[in-house]
Amino acid sequence: VPAPGEDPSRDGALGPDLRPLPGARNLKLVIEYDGACFSGWQSQPGVRTIQGSLERALGVVLRHGVVVRGAGRTDAGVHAWAQVANLYTTAPVDPERLLRSVNGLLPQGVRVRTIGVVPLGFDARRDATGKQYGYRILHRPGPSPLREGRVWHVWGRLDRQVLAAELGTLAGTHDWTSFRATDCTSPTAIKALSGAWMDVEDNDVLVLRFRGEGFLKQMVRVLVGTAVEVARGKRPPGDMRRVLALRDRREAGPTAPAEGLYLERVEYPGEEP
């Protein structure tokens, strides 16, 4: 059985085969975290990760080794409103009680929102049909102390209509080579993006949203960094389609800071959109 860190695909594909022991239950966890507190989702030796922190805290309460299977990895610094994971346990613990115990043991920056018992066949990674990310840009003169570490603060020229229009050109199944980290190890750069759009909150928070079957390393952040260059007039409108066609990361803009990025939703069949 490979260790949790050895799954070769970033996102969406099959990972290690975790077979439940007889009498085990399958628990689905919804998890929120502040990405600034962690070196990403995935367990790694010597650094604090969300998966590692969860496995340690759950192991203490359940009194057995725990493998937490997340719907997908998030990079260092990226937040999650609702990451989804599952785990098998033979411990006869009440979910509501487990929630409280685990939250009391977890380090600052991560908490379990809900724990539910699901069918043994449910697999948080394999069964996910899509994900939604939101990237928050604060567009106003002064920064926001109440949103520090939660938004990318941008001031000066930023044409909101151009920004929204640029996002509107992106949906579709494309080769996203131009918009992924150069060290991204995913075997394919072809992913279906079902939508990209902009919502505005409280007048000055621009939320750039991306929904798709799967995402490559830093894909959303490079898309945002490039779209902002278009909205600032540093690139002509429509430039993202040109960059997309070139399949060259050097043609895209800078990677937007991780602090603005949130995994907002993991989609499963039969759940409301």
Which residues here bind a copy of itself, judged by CB under 8 A? 32-34, 37, 79, 81, 96, 99, 103, 108-114, 140-146, 148, 150
Burial of 189 (0-12, 13-18, 19+ CB in 10 A): middle
Please state the length of the chain.
Answer: 273
The minimum distance between CB 141 and a copy of itself, in angstroms, equals 6
Is the C-alpha dihedral spanning 241, 246, 248, 250 positive or negative? Answer: negative
Kindly report the backbone phi and psi dihedral angles of residue 163, in degrees, each rounded to the nearest multiple of 5, phi listed first. -60, -50
Write out the H or E segment, with its range, that includes residue 167: helix 160-167
The minimum distance between CB 74 and a copy of itself, in angstroms, equals 13
**Smaller CB separation from a copy of itself, 5 or 257:** 257
Question: 16: helix, coil or strand?
Answer: coil
**Smaller CB separation from a copy of itself, 113 or 242:** 113
**Smaller CB separation from a copy of itself, 35 or 212:** 35
The minimum distance between CB 68 and a copy of itself, in angstroms, equals 15
Q: Give catalytic status of residue 75 as yes or no.
A: yes
**Smaller CB separation from a copy of itself, 148 or 248:** 148
**Catalytic option among 17, 75, 127, 199:** 75
The minimum distance between CB 37 and a copy of itself, in angstroms, equals 8
Burial of 59 (0-12, 13-18, 19+ CB in 10 A): middle
Which residues does the annotation mark as catalytic?
75
